[in-house]
Amino acid sequence: MRVRYAPSPTGEPHLGNIRTALFNWLFARRNDGVFIVRIEDTDQERLVHGAMEAILDALRWLGLDWDEGPTGAGTECKGGYGSYFQSQRLPLYHSHVEQLIRSGHAYRCYCSPARLEAVRLAQQQQKLPPGYDGHCRDLPAEERRRREEGGEPCVVRFRIPLDGATTVHDLVRSEVTWENRLLGDMVILKSDGFPTYHLASVVDDHHMHVSHVLRAEEWLPSTPRHLLLYQAFGWEPPRFAHLPMILGADRAKLSKRHGATSVLAYRDDGYLPDAMLNFMALLGWSLDDKTTVISRPELMQHFSLERITKAPAIFDKEKLAWMNGHYIRALSDEALGPKLLPFLERPAESGGLPADVRRPLDRGYVLRVVPLVKDRLKLLSEAPALTAFLFQERLAYEPALLVQKGMTAESAVDALRQARLRLSPLASDGRWTAPYLEEALRPLAAELKLTTGQLFGALRVAVTGQTAAPPLFQTMEVLGRDRCLARLEQAVAALLG
């Protein structure tokens, strides 16, 4: 079994494109097959610098290793079928085009862009289906010879039969049939000498012995044309499976307004690769009617074409965030800490910790911070905002927040001062831990005729600068004695003005 993922490096690797790569990869791994990456770079005008590298980076991030294809070092490749860049396979395509011309299955078309545009507009006005009108299909031999000898610019078109029908036996959609007369003579070689997708994909799939083609549903209408090409060459076609579309929650085609961006943008936003893999696998496939969280080994074990749906898949970013949070909580603290570090150490203007926090961070301290925020994270990129107070030396206080309901500024000052006196001796005998801190402070509330909510609320704002924070005493343990005592002094100073 041999499958291929054949991206065109004309932009960022978007979610639907990489979902196609994932399904091919899972199908190959499930069946001990070969996963091929082939770069379809024949559309020279639309090539984007760096796009190929971004595509390969997305595959590597997700752990979608390939058996044949680019190695990432320029245009070097691994595999036994020549270059896996279509732009380097032009002689192969040209020889096959000449073969089709000689056999009468293709012809040179000399129609100018202006003529083709006029034909298109006329078809629109007459409410006819769009398509080439066959003007050059049966040019007289003498005229064809004259144009060839004159070196007139041309394309090469494939001669579609004008009668009969072509049926696609699709592994997802069963049988789908098209009348040949409606297909139109498609271009297979452009005037710049580069093949179109139609020809290049067929030739490469044949010569690379691709057994199954899993691709997006948008290619389904092109498949009868491809089958006719296989027939013209006398080749056995691969088996086809067209994957369902991905729609937004509003059932419109997925776009940036639905939160769908480059897969690498999800990486940079703090999604874990295993969460992304799990989420994408469920965009058009399911293990059963109830399982949502599926590990990578389970996906590789159970993936099958029979479970791919025909109906469009719905992209739900809230579900993705929930799933990512699940995968974050499943990590050990020791595993999560290093994953948070790059997000914490980003420049402040890029969403990292405030500029006054010294970099690089102490890795041991970061590991102590992890348990405080682990259960609150949905994205790794949320960590800087949630933990900034744990790394800053000084906090900016809003004095009003230090005064809890039912308290006065004077009683808040007294409570913070008494708390500092109660806490000062603790570290001398090694008892600056959450249980000892609570044991020391809980009785103080009654002594000051305050509720624990009032006292602990004032303390929380004093040591964190905010009203919502991780558990108070665990936070104080991580902050340490000196920092906590200093912050109590700073909070009192803020109240006194």
Q: Are 495 and 407 in contact (CB under 8 A)?
A: no
Please list the helix, strand and coil fractions of the chain in percent, rounded to the nearest 5, in that order: 50, 10, 35
Question: Helical H runs in 234-382?
Answer: 263-269, 273-281, 296-302, 317-330, 333-344, 363-373
Total length of the chain: 497
Alpha-carbon distance of 193 to 90, in angstroms, equals 8
Residues 6 or more apart in contact with residue 152 via CB below 8 angstroms: 110
The β-bridge relationship of strands 165-170 and 174-179 is antiparallel
Select from 431, 430, 429, 398 the least CA-distant residue to 412.
Answer: 398
Q: Are 313 and 244 in contact (CB under 8 A)?
A: yes
Q: Are 180 and 163 in contact (CB under 8 A)?
A: yes
> H/E element holding 36?
strand 34-37
Query: Residue 191, SS3?
Result: coil
Beta partners for residue 189, in sequence order? 156, 195
Q: Are 112 and 121 in contact (CB under 8 A)?
A: no
- Number of other CB atoms surrounding residue 190 within 10 Å: 17
Would you put residue 97 in left (φ > 0), alpha (ψ -120 to 50) or beta? alpha
Alpha-carbon distance of 308 to 304, in angstroms, equals 7
Q: What is the DSSP string of 154-177?
A: -EEEE---SSSEEEEEETTTEEEE
Query: Residue 189, SS3?
Result: strand
Q: Give CA separation, 326 vs 45, 259, 275, in Å.
A: 43, 20, 8
Q: Are 4 and 36 in contact (CB under 8 A)?
A: yes
Q: Are 488 and 419 in contact (CB under 8 A)?
A: yes
Instruction: Tell how many helices (H) and how many strands (E) occur in the chain.
Output: 20, 13
Q: Are 324 and 293 in contact (CB under 8 A)?
A: no
Query: Which of the residues are catalytic?
Result: 256
Select from 222, 171, 216, 169 the least CA-distant residue to 199.
Answer: 222
